[in-house]
Structure 1
């Protein structure tokens, strides 16, 4: 999964927002940075480029992502870690950053409480989450193609998880429950560009948990082909582009 994720999803979906988030991080002038849910290192690399004087510890729950990320971005200190139980001392980082990872935390207030614990006095928590699925051109096209191929049982992973934490009021309540104060909230829309609709389809089909939902089916190959065909019909042949909307948040200790 990390290979498909890196090849097909990172360039189109994650790198545009990584550049934006890294620039925001640089404006805070951090010296010690902890990244949560780092994946294969799209934001990690952007952070190290934008803030070359900072030390960056990149973490992910998935060991295969940590292995892949440490190879692609060896300048960071990579650690496998659960965001809800961080293996770091109190007040050790002046910036905690997370790109499109908070949606996956089973207990977000617990994870945010850990962020609060490891933040140094005056530190900041900078993170992003996707907007509703309809606001993501590639994701919406994929889900529509998936539902066309499986009208009675299409996986709802994209809608429920990556795009299921899009209400700033819910985010603010979770932060407050953890002892953090919401600072800024900004909606950001950027354009994603991919070499083809088939590439995007391949990324979602094999680089996300949708893969597990389909691979046990006898008709998995035919379903993947149908989804790819529908996406190509909808987005066009050759290079494709689509708008993508996310929300960027900052938070700090209530104390």
Structure 2
């Protein structure tokens, strides 16, 4: 993982929340919320909460009496999440590292995490922390993106940027968000962390946007892909975004556009 892969700063968090969440995250947030609600937790921890896509979906699906702690290592992202749900007193917002959680053992019925495990510097440690804070009959529910070839817009954006910067292609999307998709590896990591009852489900969906420009802006300027583009040539950010939009327009039409996305949803119990 590059040192810039976890940097969600500047204008990225706001663009991420306004553009990328509806584009690719909202569907899977609703899925996580359904799974969590079915477990009827009284205490719930969310790690890597980002700008709160799952937090909003889960709180809408759960009754008033729950205790919900939402955490993220990246404070600018968490600030947006907290601002959007400032009137929900069920939620405690707390900056925290998923690989070193500041909570007691056996404190939660459920731990959930949406598209965060790919960013953990030590996934086994992160999973072990989730297990530590879970009650003995608790459940860890999380998801990760499948390989980039199954996520069409991300794959197309990566291909275009590779042509713009052929000597040093920006590979953030393939390297990190879509870099942890081997089911055998995920299962082995969870087992090493102490989980024994593990299920991994492939869940396809459709990503939709009003225009190709929307998609290009979301990926090129609402993710750490922006950091990679600017590190190579900051003056090319707009041109790179336009090139991605043109490629999507050529393949999918002028809009509205849609394409396949796919994730893995994992449920694990001790």
TM range (shorter): over 0.9
What is the CA–CA distance in structure 1 between the aligned matches of 2:163 and 2:249, rounded to whole Å? 14
The equivalent of 1:157 in structure 2 is: 172
Q: Is the 1:37–1:59 contact (alpha carbons within 8 Å) kept by the matching residues of 2? A: yes
Q: Is the 2:187–2:198 contact (alpha carbons within 8 Å) kept by the matching residues of 1? A: no
What is the CA–CA distance in structure 1 between the aligned matches of 2:157 and 2:240, rounded to whole Å? 12
The equivalent of 1:48 in structure 2 is: 59
Which of 150, 157, 175 is the matching residue for 1:135? 150
After superposition, what is the alpha-carbon deviation per residue over 1:46-89, rounded to whole angstroms, capped at 9, x for unaligned?
10011134221111110101111100123221111000111111
The equivalent of 1:67 in structure 2 is: 79
The worse-fitting range, judged by mean Cα deviation, of 26-35 and 149-158 is 149-158
TM-score w.r.t. length of structure 1: 0.95
CA positional deviation for 1:121: 1.7
The equivalent of 2:5 in structure 1 is: none
CA positional deviation for 1:4: 0.7
The worse-fitting range, judged by mean Cα deviation, of 138-147 and 238-247 is 138-147
The worse-fitting range, judged by mean Cα deviation, of 144-153 and 107-116 is 144-153
Distance 1:109 1:224, change over 3 A: same
Specify every segment of 5 or more residues in structure 2 that has no aligned partner in the other structure, as ranges: 1-11
After superposition, what is the alpha-carbon deviation per residue over 1:97-119, rounded to whole angstroms, capped at 9, x for unaligned?
01111000000011111111100
The equivalent of 1:110 in structure 2 is: 125
CA positional deviation for 1:182: 4.0
Map residues 1-255 of structure 1 onto 2, 5 A cutoff: 1-53=12-64, 54-74=66-86, 75=88, 76-216=91-231, 217=233, 218-253=235-270
Specify every segment of 5 or more residues in structure 1 that has no aligned partner in the other structure, as ranges: none
Residues matched between the structures, number: 253
The worse-fitting range, judged by mean Cα deviation, of 173-182 and 223-232 is 223-232
Query: Pairwise CA RMSD of aligned residues?
Result: 1.3
TM-score w.r.t. length of structure 2: 0.90
What is the CA–CA distance in structure 2 between the aligned matches of 1:222 and 1:245, rounded to whole Å? 28
After superposition, what is the alpha-carbon deviation per residue over 1:125-160, rounded to whole angstroms, capped at 9, x for unaligned?
001011000101221121122223223322111111
